[in-house]
Amino acid sequence: QTAIMNNEQYPSLPLKEKQINIISIKAIEDIGHDLQDSILLKSLAPEENTKCQQGLYFQDGKRRVDYVLTYHIKKTSSSRRHTSRLRDNAFTRTLRRGREPPPPAPKDDAEVGSPHHSMDHHDDDKCLRREEFESNLMEMGLELERDEETKTPGMGFVKIHAPWSILCREAEFMKLKMPTKKVMFHSTGVMEKINVFISKLTDPLHPNLEENRTQKVKHLSYPFSREKQHLFDLSDKDSFFDSKTRSSLVFEVLKRTKCTKAKFSMGITSLLGSGVYLAAYPLHDVSIHHYTLLYEEWASYSVFYKYQPIGLIRKYFGEKIGLYFAWLGVYTQMLIPASLVGVIVFLYGCVTVDDDIPSMEICDQRKNITMCPLCDRVCSYWNLSIACGTARASHLFDNPATVFFSIFMALWAAFFMEHWKRRQMRLNYEWDLTGFEDEEDHPRAEYEFRVMQKSLKKDHKSQKVTLHIFASLAILQIGVTFAIVFGVILYRISTKAALAMSSNPMTRSNVRLTVKTTAAIINLVTDLVLLIFDVYFFHICVMVVSSEVPKTDKSFEERLIFKTFILKFVNAFTPIIYIAFFRGRLGGRPGSYLYVFESYRMEECAHGGCLMELCIQLSITMLGKQLIQNNLFEIGVPKLKKLIRYIKSKRGSFQEEEYEKKLQRYETDHFLEPFAGLTPEYMEMIIQFGFVTLFVASFPLAPLFALLNNIIEIRLDAKKFVAELRRPDAARGKDIGIWYNILRGVAKVAVIVNAFVISFTSDFIPRLVYQYMYSPDGSMHGFVNHTLSYFNVSHFQNGTAPLEPFHLGFHVDICRYKDYREPPWSLTPYEISKEFWAVLAARLAFVIVFQNVVMLMSDVVDWIIPDIPKDISLQIYKEKILMMDLFMKEEQGKTRIEDSYKETSTLTHAVGSKIKPLPSYLKLIS
């Protein structure tokens, strides 16, 4: 067979006399028919064939385009057709002569002699690499068709088709499990009936797909083998291997085919890295019904309430992407009960706020508790009743129910892990991955180059250097993050002092509200800055991991994920950790404050505690960063990049829709954003999982915000994968890899963090200690007075006393501040009191007890729930037995045929050659 290169029609002439642009696809001996009969002399024009017009098929309209390679053409449009024809004819003649090198071009050749059409040495070298690589692909059995006469200036496309024999060969190499003719009927037990009943109840939530109907029949699967083709249903060979499988098989050939003229000899990856090809991708198969269903039943915001068509996603994008969306669906589904419990805890705080005795004492103006100034000189004394609103708001999140919610969320994380493992095993069974093991990846091109250069002996020193680089990078990342946080602290301190000096009484009375609001806006800006740093440090992580020279792509990916996650974790959680555990604890006391730059006093927590500040920061992060910022970036960035590609390709024309209508499918996909892997998608969700679990004791509404974000995120990602990204290469995988271990680590750390938040950030432990050790009547009356220490205003340092000491209308001798210290009239004034040590001991004891009890409960949940559902294990066992029976019957049939053949041979030899074979033998053979 041959493939016509350009979209032109030619007269019926012999091959040697025709100056046409063709590539010989396969040797005549392998095809079995005359070459001239196979030449497509009059291909259908694109406008005459719908399939061809879409760019999904070759010019004959029959052979499907399984993969596309794109490259840059550096020559003028007027000479492009002529030079391409000359070069390809030389290439074809080379193949005809048995791969002998072509003769040197004459001086007046269009590519060599003419100064107007000459190519530089670098581009010529790329051209030679492409020719060698494409000839090697054809030797591997693939069929190619080049198209340089496109509506995209400066771009050439190589369309690749894999014939049936090549697909069978690669499927056998990859040990792909394909459905056989043998079917297995599912049992109709009690559980199946319950599942059918539940499926009918939830039918409105399922996508409108035929595969969602309960199926009682499953085709047994077996690794494809060319010797056992009779086991498989090959009645329709065109649909036996779907488009996803075809492209993955072609991609394996592309990775395995070497190009010795390249710097690295490992296939298409090294050629893409060196710029020989600009891109390599399978096409979005818009002709099949699956694509339409994905667009309507998955990538649409109107179906946000429905389950995802996971099976359809897997059939179109492959197992790894299917597992990601399945995991995201399970995670979002599990957020529903967590959100409900979180809302109940929040409503409990709203209902009981009027019964909270400490907040009632703070709001009671009759107490007339005079508090020490919040800043030096410009701030004056103030009444505790001013903090009434903050105290009441703090109770919404700081109440006994938050402790229960922390325990619930720890168990929720354990249930989520177990539920996902069971769901993963069910998908492995349904997707025929039960016996699949991750095969050894091809060595990375960089690793092979190091081996060829024999430089791996020096890698021990380089690995130590890279470890130092990464450690320095992590320290730098922490330093940058702390610098940003420290800048916000300075802003709050200086703004608070400046506003307190205002002559406007309204401004002075709303100092706290103004500072909190403006600081929240600055936090959003700093999040953008940290996002830019994330991109910068990600590229540095890639450089660090590349210098370690991992052998396989899997090892490279895991190292990159781990390092990137550490830096991302530091970026995301440093401001929150500061508020939760450091703010308000380093400020000192009246008369002995800690100062920054000898002039700015460290800020203190509001009287209601730092927990309210932590809630504000978390709400800003969950709403501003997760729900708005990330989604805007995911929507805007791909569209912006696509627009830039269109502008460059059309030289400034902005008629995008009209231009896109004229493009072939492989041209349209070229303008889409390249698929960058699932790491950014997983990373965003894992960081969100950290927000949901790590500080949930201080913000019970975090699961609700995460649920709202994920409902949008699923449809946003679906829209992006279907319409904004090039179709990814279908990759097999039976789990989510290193991400599961990271999830388990975050869940374990969350137990410890929540224990410390409850103990040291909230007032839960001080309230318990007071109620059971110091309260005269066992109630919470007097708790506020118990937590406030005394200070003699005459002990202020020089220059720090208030400028307006009579701001409250009376002279102040003693003011109060929140701490456990001895009063000024004791023998050890302002020293830490015994109540402080009692509370500290209770806090540490609570951390130890809470951590061990919750982790023990999580381990019990892990032990009780089996990883493999019972019905799946039974089905796997049943399937093995049926496959054994199938092969036993096949072996018995072979044995009977051999025995009958032996008997017939014996009789024929004994009687004579005129005796015909027995009819029973002929019947058995047929």
What is the number of residues in the chain? 926
Query: Which residue in 407, 378, 381 sits closest to 812, CA to CA?
Result: 381
Q: Is the per-residue pLDDT at 25 higher than 70?
A: no
Q: Which pLDDT does position 338 carry in this prediction?
A: 93
Q: Which pLDDT does position 331 carry in this prediction?
A: 95
Q: Which pLDDT does position 842 carry in this prediction?
A: 93
| Helices 310-317 and 289-297, axial angle in degrees (round to 10) | 130
Q: What are the residues whose beta carbons fall under 8 Å from the beta carbon of 317, sequence distance 6 or more?
A: 244, 721, 727, 728, 730
Q: In which band, very low, low, confident or very high, does the pLDDT at 846 lie, cut at 50, 70 and 90? A: very high
Pairwise pLDDT comparison (122 vs 172), residue with the higher score: 172
Q: In which band, very low, low, confident or very high, does the pLDDT at 477 lie, cut at 50, 70 and 90? A: low
For tokens 């000899």, the residue is: 265
Name 37's bridge partners. none
What whole-number distance in Å separates Cα of residue 588 and Cα of residue 592? 6
What whole-number distance in Å separates Cα of residue 405 and Cα of residue 320? 34
Write phi, then psi, for 510 (nearest 5 degrees): -115, 30
Pairwise pLDDT comparison (719 vs 475), residue with the higher score: 719
Q: What is the mean pLDDT of the segment spanning 462-484?
A: 64
Q: Is the per-residue pLDDT at 127 higher than 80?
A: yes
For tokens 């699932």, the residue is: 678
Q: Which pLDDT does position 844 carry in this prediction?
A: 93
Q: Is the per-residue pLDDT at 432 higher than 60?
A: yes
**Cβ contact 89:19 at 8 Å:** yes
What whole-number distance in Å separates Cα of residue 782 and Cα of residue 100? 99
Torsion of CA 230, 233, 237, 241, to 10 degrees: -110
Type of residue found at 744: R
Q: Which pLDDT does position 452 carry in this prediction?
A: 56
Q: Which pLDDT does position 651 carry in this prediction?
A: 46
Q: Which pLDDT does position 88 carry in this prediction?
A: 42
Pairwise pLDDT comparison (115 vs 364), residue with the higher score: 364
Q: Which pLDDT does position 453 carry in this prediction?
A: 57
Q: Which pLDDT does position 40 carry in this prediction?
A: 31
Q: Cα 149 to chain center, whole Å? A: 38
What whole-number distance in Å separates Cα of residue 51 and Cα of residue 58? 9
Q: Is the per-residue pLDDT at 265 higher than 80?
A: no
Helix, strand and coil content of the chain, in percent to the nearest 5, comes to 60, 10, 30
Q: Is the per-residue pLDDT at 486 higher than 50?
A: yes
**Cβ contact 711:703 at 8 Å:** no
Q: What is the mean pLDDT of the segment spanning 667-688?
A: 87
What whole-number distance in Å separates Cα of residue 150 and Cα of residue 139? 27
What whole-number distance in Å separates Cα of residue 442 and Cα of residue 481? 39
Q: What is the mean pLDDT of the segment spanning 468-474?
A: 63
Q: What are the residues whose beta carbons fall under 8 Å from the beta carbon of 887, sequence distance 6 or more?
A: none
Dig out the tokens for 901 from the structure: 């053949």
Q: Is the per-residue pLDDT at 317 higher than 70?
A: yes
For tokens 């929507």, the residue is: 635
What whole-number distance in Å separates Cα of residue 801 and Cα of residue 468? 49
State the chain's mean pLDDT as an integer: 75
Given strand 370-371, what is the order of strands in its sheet? 382-383, 370-371, 814-818, 788-792
Q: In which band, very low, low, confident or very high, does the pLDDT at 848 lie, cut at 50, 70 and 90? A: very high
Q: Is the per-residue pLDDT at 168 higher than 80?
A: yes
Q: In which band, very low, low, confident or very high, does the pLDDT at 343 lie, cut at 50, 70 and 90? A: very high
Write phi, then psi, for 165 (nearest 5 degrees): -65, -35
Q: In which band, very low, low, confident or very high, does the pLDDT at 412 lie, cut at 50, 70 and 90? A: very high
Q: In which band, very low, low, confident or very high, does the pLDDT at 106 lie, cut at 50, 70 and 90? A: very low
Q: Is the per-residue pLDDT at 99 higher than 60?
A: no
Q: What is the mean pLDDT of the segment spanning 281-297?
A: 83
Highest mean pLDDT among 234-248, 257-271, 517-531, 563-577: 234-248
Pairwise pLDDT comparison (13 vs 525), residue with the higher score: 525
What whole-number distance in Å separates Cα of residue 338 and Cα of residue 700? 9
* H helical segments located in 190-261: 190-201, 237-240, 243-256
Q: Which pLDDT does position 689 carry in this prediction?
A: 92
Q: In which band, very low, low, confident or very high, does the pLDDT at 372 lie, cut at 50, 70 and 90? A: confident
Residue 725: strand, helix, or coil: strand
Dig out the tokens for 912 from the structure: 């004579």
Cα separations (Å) of 194 from 184, 188, 222?
20, 10, 30
Dig out the tokens for 168 from the structure: 């069978």
Which of 95-109, 737-751, 815-829, 889-903 has the least mean pLDDT? 95-109
Q: Which pLDDT does position 660 carry in this prediction?
A: 52
Q: Which pLDDT does position 539 carry in this prediction?
A: 73
Q: Is 97 exposed, middle or buried (0-12, 13-18, 19+ CB in 10 A)?
A: exposed
Residues 762-810 have pLDDT tens digits of 888 999 999 888 888 888 888 888 889 999 988 888 878 887 788 777 8
Containing H/E element for 815?
strand 814-818
State the SS3 of 370-426.
EECCCCCCCCCCEEHHHHHHHHHHHHHHCCHHHHHHHHHHHHHHHHHHHHHHHHHHH
Residue 4: strand, helix, or coil: strand
Give percent of the chain with pLDDT exceeding 70: 68
Look up residue 819 and give its DSSP letter.
S
Look up residue 818 and give its DSSP letter.
E
Q: Is the per-residue pLDDT at 726 higher than 80?
A: yes
Pairwise pLDDT comparison (79 vs 685), residue with the higher score: 685
Rg (CA), the chain: 36
Dig out the tokens for 566 from the structure: 């550490």
Residues 41-98 have pLDDT tens digits of 233 333 334 445 467 888 888 888 999 999 888 754 433 443 343 334 334 333 333 3
Q: Is the per-residue pLDDT at 159 higher than 60?
A: yes
Q: What is the mean pLDDT of the segment spanning 547-562?
A: 78
Torsion of CA 164, 170, 172, 177, to 10 degrees: -90
Give percent of the chain with pLDDT exceeding 90: 12
Query: Which residue in 528, 462, 522, 469 sits closest to 494, CA to CA?
Result: 522
Q: Strands 600-601 and 595-596, how do they pair? A: antiparallel
Highest mean pLDDT among 170-179, 350-359, 431-440, 846-855: 846-855
**Cβ contact 335:689 at 8 Å:** no
Q: Is the per-residue pLDDT at 144 higher than 70?
A: yes
Q: Which pLDDT does position 325 carry in this prediction?
A: 94
User: CB pairs under 8 A, 24+ apart, for 630-637?
Assistant: 630/684, 630/709, 631/709, 631/712, 631/713, 631/716, 633/531, 634/716, 634/717, 634/720, 635/716
Q: Is the per-residue pLDDT at 435 higher than 50?
A: yes
What whole-number distance in Å separates Cα of residue 545 and Cα of residue 470? 9
Pairwise pLDDT comparison (593 vs 344), residue with the higher score: 344
Q: What are the residues whose beta carbons fall under 8 Å from the beta carbon of 326, sequence distance 6 or more?
A: 308, 310, 423, 424, 427
What whole-number distance in Å separates Cα of residue 853 and Cα of residue 762? 20
**Cβ contact 698:580 at 8 Å:** yes
